[in-house]
C-alpha cells in the first residue's frame, strides 16, 4: 500500500505533492514554442463562436465549484464577458437564461457527478455550447460535452480533492488567455507575462511544500478548536471557500469562509476569545481593507493566521498573530499558491486529530446520485 502511495502515508499527502507535476502536465502542449501564446489543439469552438459569446455559466459541485468561482473572476478580468458560477444541484431551479450565445462550462474531476451531468444535459437541451473541464477524458461528462479541456492531474484517490482543483485553475487560466487572444482583450505582452508567471508556479509550489513543517505547527495550534473562520476578498475569498471545505471534510472542524467585508454584517458576533481566523491577504489592491477586517477580529479576541506574500509579512505581523508566507505571483494566479498552503493546514489538522485523512466519514469521491 505504501508503494501505491509512493512512500507517503496518505494519498492526500502524495497528491498535494504531485501538484507541481500536475501544473506542468496541464500546461504542456497548450503553450506554443515561443512560450507567449496559448494553443488549444483539440478545441472545436471557432474564433467566430468565441467572439459571439454573450455570457458564460460555470456549473460544478464541491471543490470543482470552488474552482469555478476562481474561473469566474479569471475570465471576467481577462475577457470581460459576464460569468456566473452555480452549484450544479441548484442550477436548474432558477430557470437559467440560456441563449445560443451562452457558453456553459462544467467542471468535474471525475466526470461522473450526477448533479453536474444533469445540469449539462439541461444546458444542452436549451441550446448552449458546453465545454467540460475534467480529469477523466472517457467520462460521461466528457462524452456529452461539445468541447473538453482535460486537466492532466493523474488519478486522484483521496476523497478531499487537491491536485484536481489546482489543475482546474490552470485550465481556467489557459482558457481565459485563449479567449483573450481571440477577442483581443489582452495584448500579446500581457498574455506573455501571465504565461511566464504560470511557468514559475510549479517551482513556487515546491517552495511552499518545502516549508510544510511550518504548516504542521500552525495546524496543531488550531486543531483542538471547534470553530474556525476563513476570510478574504476577491480571489482570496474564492480560495478561502476551498480552504474551508477542505478543513471541514477531513478534520470535522466547523468552519466557514466569509468575504472579509461581510463578516461585520453578522458573523462577527461569533468571534470571541481564542477563535481561530485564517485571513488570506494576497490581493495587493485589497490588503488595506482586509487588514481593517483583521483588526475587527483581533479586537474581539480572535487569533489570526494570515496567508500572505513574503514582502507583506512584516507589515501584517503588526496586526496578526502569525503568518504563513507564499511566493509572489500575479494577482490573477494567487489561488494556485494560497490554496496549497490551505491544503497543508487541513491535512495536518486531520493528521493531528488522528482522523482518516483519505476517507472522511459520510463522503464519497464521486457522487452519482442527485
Q: How far is the CB of 317 from ligand G6P (least distance, A)?
A: 34
Nearest CB to ligand G6P, comparing residues 61 and 142: 61
Q: How far is the CB of 215 from ligand G6P (least distance, A)?
A: 21
Q: Considering only residues 168-227, where is the footprint of ligand G6P by CB under 6 A?
A: none
Beta-sheet strand order (sheet of 322-326) = 254-259, 227-232, 276-281, 303-309, 322-326
At 147, which helix (H) or strand (E)?
Answer: strand 147-150
Q: Is 148 in the site for ligand G6P (CB under 6 A)?
A: no
DSSP state of 324: E
Query: Residue 226 burial (CB < 10 Å; 0-12/13-18/19+)?
Result: exposed
Q: How far is the CB of 333 from ligand G6P (least distance, A)?
A: 21
Lookup: cell for 135: 480529469
Q: Considering only residues 325-354, where is the footprint of ligand G6P by CB under 6 A?
A: none
Q: Considering only residues 39-78, where is the footprint of ligand G6P by CB under 6 A?
A: 61-64
Q: Is 366 in the site for ligand G6P (CB under 6 A)?
A: yes
Residues whose CB is less than 8 angstroms from the CB of residue 155 and which lie 6 or more positions away in sequence, other chains included: none
Grid look-up 478543513 returns: 247
Query: Residue 253 burial (CB < 10 Å; 0-12/13-18/19+)?
Result: buried
73, 110, 204, 338: which one binds ligand G6P (CB under 6 A): 110
Q: Is 357 in the site for ligand G6P (CB under 6 A)?
A: no
Q: Considering only residues 154-173, where is the footprint of ligand G6P by CB under 6 A?
A: 159, 161
80, 265, 363, 368: which one binds ligand G6P (CB under 6 A): 363
Q: Which stretch binds ligand G6P (CB under 6 A): 208-216, 271-279, 287-295, 358-366?
A: 358-366
CB 148 within 8 A of CB 130: no
57, 108, 244, 290: which one binds ligand G6P (CB under 6 A): 108
Instruction: In whole angstroms, give the CA distance from residue 164 to residue 145.
Output: 19
Active-site residue set: 365
* Binding stretches for ligand G6P (CB under 6 A): 61-64, 108-110, 113, 116, 159, 161, 363-367
Amino acid at each position: 500500500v505504501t508503494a501505491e502511495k509512493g512512500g507517503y502515508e496518505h494519498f492526500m499527502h502524495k497528491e498535494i505533492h504531485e501538484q507541481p507535476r500536475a501544473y506542468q502536465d496541464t500546461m504542456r502542449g497548450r503553450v506554443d514554442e515561443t512560450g507567449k501564446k496559448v494553443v488549444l489543439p483539440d478545441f472545436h469552438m471557432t474564433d467566430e463562436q468565441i467572439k459571439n459569446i454573450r455570457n458564460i455559466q460555470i456549473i460544478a459541485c464541491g471543490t470543482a465549484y470552488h474552482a469555478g468561482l476562481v474561473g469566474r473572476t479569471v475570465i471576467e478580468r481577462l475577457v470581460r464577458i459576464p460569468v456566473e458560477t452555480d452549484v450544479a444541484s441548484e442550477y436548474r431551479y432558477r430557470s437559467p437564461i440560456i441563449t445560443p450565445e451562452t457558453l456553459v462550462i462544467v467542471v468535474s474531476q471525475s466526470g461522473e457527478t450526477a448533479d453536474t451531468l444533469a445540469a449539462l444535459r439541461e444546458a444542452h437541451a436549451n441550446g448552449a455550447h458546453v465545454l467540460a473541464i475534467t480529469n477523466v477524458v472517457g467520462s460521461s461528462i466528457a462524452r456529452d460535452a461539445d468541447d473538453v479541456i482535460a486537466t492532466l492531474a493523474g488519478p486522484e484517490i483521496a476523497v478531499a480533492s487537491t491536485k484536481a482543483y489546482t489543475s482546474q485553475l490552470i485550465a481556467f487560466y489557459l482558457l481565459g488567455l485563449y479567449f483573450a487572444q481571440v477577442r483581443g482583450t489582452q495584448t500579446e505582452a500581457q498574455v506573455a507575462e501571465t504565461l511566464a508567471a504560470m511557468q514559475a508556479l510549479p517551482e513556487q509550489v515546491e517552495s511552499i511544500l518545502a516549508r510544510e513543517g511550518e504548516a504542521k505547527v500552525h495546524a496543531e495550534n488550531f486543531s483542538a478548536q471547534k470553530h474556525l473562520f476563513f476570510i478574504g476578498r476577491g480571489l482570496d475569498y474564492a480560495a478561502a471557500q476551498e480552504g474551508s471545505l477542505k478543513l471541514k471534510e477531513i478534520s470535522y472542524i466547523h468552519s466557514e469562509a466569509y468575504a472579509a467585508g461581510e463578516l461585520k454584517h453578522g458573523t462577527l458576533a461569533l468571534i470571541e476569545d481564542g477563535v481561530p481566523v485564517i485571513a488570506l491577504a494576497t490581493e495587493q489592491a485589497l490588503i488595506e481593507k482586509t487588514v481593517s477586517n483583521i483588526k475587527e477580529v483581533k479586537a474581539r479576541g480572535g487569533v489570526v493566521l494570515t496567508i500572505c506574500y513574503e514582502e507583506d509579512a512584516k507589515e501584517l505581523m503588526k496586526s496578526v498573530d502569525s503568518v504563513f508566507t507564499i511566493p509572489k505571483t500575479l494577482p490573477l494566479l494567487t489561488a494556485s499558491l494560497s490554496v496549497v498552503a490551505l491544503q497543508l493546514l487541513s491535512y495536518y489538522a486531520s493528521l493531528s486529530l488522528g482522523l482518516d485523512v483519505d476517507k472522511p466519514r459520510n463522503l464519497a469521491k464521486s457522487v452519482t446520485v442527485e
